[in-house]
């Protein structure tokens, strides 16, 4: 099945990726962690192919979780969580009392919650988080993390799945849309993480990113306003995946969140990119030198991981 810029994502919705006064200096918005299979599992699958799982993506967890109190707290500038036990992970090396090495298979992550506060320092249930409210208009946010300015997340969008496809060459794409009725309060756009590259399968994949909802002062005009992402590192300067990764614009208009339920709708897929060369104003009007390249995708595998929260 061929998809053009994942325009299918909003066809259904049209009806219907940390701190406490800290600045997020990192320009990375969305993150991927991968934990490949042990060699023993791979050897077993070769000996008993009839006992191997089918070629698919299998959803494991999907939550809006507690944001870390301080962004980029690790010495290398990364965030405290999520952090995987890998035997040699210096960012979360020890756990327990007395401390022991965080074993392979362990994970440190934020606590998920259903109820979240819109306003700063409004302590509600387990969603009290880091004291930062989820309404970008009032919580002190002034722009996107990619702009190198203050972005104050109330939580972290966390999804994980097992990849049993063996497909290490196609691009990993994800789009996360958060709605209240027919109002959109967050739209990541289509985030292209690129191919997995050489890795042993099956592999556990974690995708995560900081988030609040709506728009901040001066960003009320859409589309692609506030938490509705515009193009990032796109169009491309070459017909290949760039080291920086890239995001295709959401073309959505974010509105201010209100008290009540909110629905997370996620689309995670592996897809083959097809590049098209453009010249002239098709590039320069988007701030990219000519020639440039746009992309369409041929979908290979797709999963949905959807859930709800409540804003007060």
248, containing H or E segment: strand 246-248
Question: What pLDDT, on a 0 to 100 scale, did the predictor assign at position 75?
Answer: 78
Residues 180, 184, 188: CA angle, nearest 5 degrees: 125
What one-character DSSP code corresponds to residue 230? Answer: -
Cα-trace Rg, the chain: 20
Instruction: List, in sequence order, the alpha helices (H) in 32-118.
Output: 39-47
Low-confidence ranges of the chain (pLDDT < 70): 1-28, 37-51, 69-72, 87, 122-130
Question: What pLDDT, on a 0 to 100 scale, did the predictor assign at position 268?
Answer: 98
Which residues, 6 or more positions from 114, have their beta carbon under 8 angstroms from its beta carbon? 125, 126, 127, 308, 309, 310
Enumerate the domain spans of the chain: 2-311
Burial class (CB in 10 A: 0-12, 13-18, 19+), 96: exposed
Question: What pLDDT, on a 0 to 100 scale, did the predictor assign at position 124?
Answer: 56
Six token digits for residue 200: 């042993």
CA dist 95 → 66, 81, 195 (Å): 19, 14, 32
* Cβ-based neighbour number of residue 140 at 10 Å: 17
Length of the chain measured in residues: 312
Cα 207 vs. chain centroid, distance in angstroms? 5
Question: What pLDDT, on a 0 to 100 scale, did the predictor assign at position 303?
Answer: 97
3-state SS, residue 271 = strand
Question: What pLDDT, on a 0 to 100 scale, did the predictor assign at position 23?
Answer: 34
Question: What pLDDT, on a 0 to 100 scale, did the predictor assign at position 289?
Answer: 96
Beta bridge partners of 95: 100
CB of 158 closer than 8 Å to CB of 82 = yes
Q: Could you give phi then psi for residue 13, rounded to 5 degrees?
A: -70, -25
């Amino acid at each position: 099945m061929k998809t053009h810029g994942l325009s299918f994502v909003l066809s259904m919705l049209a009806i219907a990726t940390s701190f406490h006064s800290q600045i997020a200096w990192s320009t990375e918005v969305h993150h991927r962690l991968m934990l490949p299979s042990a060699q023993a599992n791979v050897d077993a699958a070769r000996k008993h192919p009839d006992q191997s799982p089918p070629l698919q993506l299998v959803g494991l967890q999907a939550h809006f979780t507690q944001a870390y109190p301080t962004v980029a707290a690790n010495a290398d500038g990364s965030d405290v969580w999520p952090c995987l036990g890998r035997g040699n992970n210096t960012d979360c090396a020890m756990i327990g009392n007395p401390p022991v090495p965080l074993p392979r298979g362990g994970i440190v992550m934020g606590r998920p919650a259903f109820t979240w506060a819109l306003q700063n320092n409004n302590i509600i249930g387990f969603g009290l988080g880091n004291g930062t409210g989820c309404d970008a208009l009032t919580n002190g946010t002034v722009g996107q993390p990619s702009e190198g300015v203050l972005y104050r997340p109330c939580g972290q969008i966390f999804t994980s799945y097992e990849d049993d496809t063996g497909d290490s060459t196609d691009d990993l794409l994800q789009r996360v849309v958060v709605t209240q009725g027919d109002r959109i309060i967050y739209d990541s756009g289509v985030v292209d993480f690129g191919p997995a590259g050489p890795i042993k399968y099956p592999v556990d994949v974690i995708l995560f990113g900081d988030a609040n909802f709506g728009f901040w002062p001066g960003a009320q005009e859409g589309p692609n306003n506030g938490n509705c992402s515009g193009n990032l590192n796109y169009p491309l300067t070459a017909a290949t995946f760039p080291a920086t990764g890239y995001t295709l614009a959401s073309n959505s208009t974010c509105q201010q969140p209100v008290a009540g339920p909110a629905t997370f709708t996620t689309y995670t897929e592996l897809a083959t990119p097809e590049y098209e060369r453009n010249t002239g104003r098709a590039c320069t009007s988007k701030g990219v030198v000519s020639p440039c390249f746009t992309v369409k995708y041929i979908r290979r595998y797709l999963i949905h991981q959807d859930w709800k929260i409540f804003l007060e």
